Amino acid sequence: MSDNQVRSTLKSASEQAAATIAAMPAKPKIIACPLCGRQFLTHTELTAHYAAEHPDSVAPVTATLNVNGKNCELIFEPFMTLKQVLQYHLGLIGAKEMCDRGACGSCTVIMDGRPALSCNILASECEGKIIETVEGIAVIPKWKPLIDRYCYWDAMQCGYCTPGFLVTAKALLDHNPNPTEHEIKEALSGNICICGTQPRHSQAILEAVLIMSGHAVHGYTASEVDNG
């Protein structure tokens, strides 16, 4: 990508992410019964409705998660994964579901500071957890160089795996702000790209680390990323 294309991609990604996070509901306004569509105002009413009308079915459950810095009270069917709840209840579509079996890393989010595969975790197990998604990372100025370098190096083709890589990279840099190439490759070993971008990720992350620590890369610095 040219520098101008990188700047405008970065700006629009960050604006879209901010709008998505702003739109996340802190609690559901109306709760529709997933089986018959009747609407209720509280989880208690819905549970009573299940007992009366759908006695053979398990009623939706509730959990409060801190997602991208916002406490969100959620009501969902007990079989739903964290990935599904993030997408269908909060509108967060950054984490992708490629394999749906914990093998590719495209659905990676950060849970309580560690990368976690959201396709493999039941949302009902996440009460009180602190979750970060790629949208939350995209709005924090500190991480602009990371996304910037991904764009610069075209470290995506179809882009389906990219959010998972970015989230994993952020989790690595939180704990190890100056990783070696080997440590980056090791951290990304659970993320798979079927389009063949794998070699570009470590290059993008290594350059992001340099920019974030105040160095210029190709004559380009963190303040230029900020002003982009």
Q: Which residues bind ligand FES (CB under 6 A)?
A: 97-100, 102-107, 117, 119, 156-161, 193-195, 197
Report yes or no: 228 and 7 within 8 Å, Cβ to Cβ. Answer: yes
Q: Are 131 and 114 in contact (CB under 8 A)?
A: no
| CA neighbor of 112 nearest in space, from 80, 81, 82 | 82
Closer Cβ to ligand FES, 27 or 114, answer by number: 114
Q: Nearest approach, Cβ of 6 to ligand FES (angstroms)?
A: 17
Nearest distance in Å: CB 192, ligand FES: 8
**DSSP helix/strand/coil, 122:** strand
Toward ligand FES, which CB reaches closer, 105 or 145?
105
The answer to whether the beta carbons of residues 124 and 75 sit under 8 Å apart is: no
Q: Tell me whether residue 48 or residue 195 sits nearer to ligand FES (CB atom).
A: 195
Shortest distance, position 225 Cβ to ligand FES, whole Å: 23
CB of residue 161 vs ligand FES: minimum separation in angstroms? Answer: 3
- CA 102: distance to chain centroid? 15
Q: Give the up-direction half-sphere exposure of residue 222: CA atoms within 13 A in the CB hemisphere.
A: 13
CB of 203 or CB of 221, closer to ligand FES = 203
End-to-end Cα, the chain, rounded Å: 14
Smallest distance, ligand FES to C-beta of residue 147, A: 15
User: What angle is formed at CA 113 by the lines to CA 116 and CA 192, rounded to 5 degrees?
Assistant: 35
What length is written for the chain?
228
Tell me the backbone φ, ψ of residue 49, rounded to 5 degrees.
-60, -40
Between 113 and 159, whose beta carbon lies closer to ligand FES? 159
Shortest CB 143 distance to ligand FES, Å: 20
| Residue placing its CB nearer to ligand FES in the complex, 32 or 122 | 122
